[in-house]
Amino acid sequence: MLHVGRDKAITCWRFSKMTKRAGIGHWHAHEGRHTAVSIMSSNGVPLQEISDTVGHKSTHVTETVYRHVIVPAIRGGATVMDAVFGDAADAADEDDQVGTTGAS
């Protein structure tokens, strides 16, 4: 993964030149990192793997910096949990409604 260090000017220049040649205009290297994280997150790559790929020491850094990108993955997890427990919750709601309709 692209990691901008002490040769930042050269890295940025090369990255910009590469994106122009690819026909997507002028991009900064950091935009490439954000895009990569976004693509990985939206395609179900686990947070730990994303963090390792972009070179963060912990998932906390990844979560903090890329929170706006990681949120859809969290929502996806909530959707899975709803699918697993949804039937049980629906049945409990029906039981509650049956118990309250006859007790007027």
pLDDT digits (tens, 9 = 90+) for 84-96: 887 665 666 666 6
Let me know: does 78 contact 49? Beta carbons within 8 Å. no
Let me know: does 71 contact 62? Beta carbons within 8 Å. no
pTM to 2 decimal places? 0.55
Model pLDDT, residue 15: 85
pLDDT digits (tens, 9 = 90+) for 11-52: 888 888 988 999 988 888 878 888 888 888 888 888 899 999
Counting Cα atoms < 13 Å in the Cβ hemisphere of 68 gives 3
Q: Given a cut of 50, is residue 104 above it in pLDDT?
A: no
Cα Rg for the chain, rounded, in angstroms? Answer: 22
